[in-house]
Amino acid sequence: MIRLRRAVLEADTAERLRGYTDDIRRQATERERKDRAKELWANRRQVRPALVKGLAEMAPGHERCMYCGDSQGTDIDHFEPKSLAPLRTFDWLNHLLACLFCNSNQKRNLFPTAADGSPLLVDPTVEDPLDHLRLVLPLGTYRGLTDRGRACIEVFGLNERAVLVKGRVDAYWTARDSVELWRTAMDKGDRDKAKRIVRVAWDRPLIDVLVAMFHQSGHPAADALFAGEEELLGLLLDSELRTAFLHFRGVNY
């Protein structure tokens, strides 16, 4: 998971969403609100294209799942499930792009909460998942830094899905190659190639690995985190390289 910026919907779509929400709110009981929300969502054809377009613009890589970052995002997921919060069924701030596996096999209607009722899952459009999760780069596994990070690991199976762990390990080596190739291209004066390397690096699946590399290189314990990888750490701390990669994505680590 990486930090994402919420797109702004066009005014007519936002107005239509508000109309659906008002319709649900007018129902007399919670049961009726849930039934009406389910009915309206099943017939969302008028707003679905705009929602998918907005989510696709926000998604990492080529429309990747906002949870696992690996598979293509195909589903509009309700961060707070509509079965628990029918009034948020058409709330744009409650919509995320998810792959079928994360949405239907992992998250389903799970929405763990803390003792005070606050969500334990991390919404990547609201806060930075890296405040709650740390990727062990050579191993491809996550460590939960907080209860919320641990809840994300459990609900989405971030460490239990072998394909994700193996994918992150491979993505780590691919990301290493990208920064090395960028440095070589720049040293040769081939700026066009360097720009292409940056673009392709960000378009790959599992770019949480690339984000984690830059984030951890700026950590106070970076020397320990990159023990035995001093050359890589030096590249990641290169101000010119950091500017080229991080400004492309609009992040600052």
In the predicted model, what is the mean pLDDT of residues 31-45?
Answer: 95
Q: What is the pLDDT of residues 152-178, one digit of tens each?
A: 999 999 999 999 999 999 999 999 999
CA distances from 103 to 110, 140, 176, 216 (A): 10, 22, 31, 29
Check whether 106 has a pLDDT greater than 70: yes
- Per-residue pLDDT at 247: 87
- Read off the pTM: 0.90
Q: What is the pLDDT of residue 249?
A: 75
| Cα 224 from Cα 228, distance rounded (Å) | 9
- Reported as a single tens digit per residue, the pLDDT across 112-124 is 999 999 999 999 9
Domain ranges of the chain: 11-156, 162-249
Say how far apart CA 97 and CA 105 lie, in whole Å.
Answer: 15
pLDDT digits 0-9 by tens, 126-157:
999 999 999 999 999 999 999 999 999 999 99
The dihedral built from the CA positions of residue 118, 120, 124 and 129, taken in this order, carries a sign that is positive
Averaged pLDDT, 40-58: 94
Banded pLDDT at 248 (limits 50, 70, 90)? confident
Residues 6+ apart with CB under 8 A from 109: 81, 83, 84
pLDDT tens digits, one per residue of 180-223:
999 999 999 999 999 999 999 999 999 999 999 999 999 999 99
Instruction: State mean pLDDT over 24-40.
Output: 96
Helix (H) or strand (E) holding 16: helix 11-25
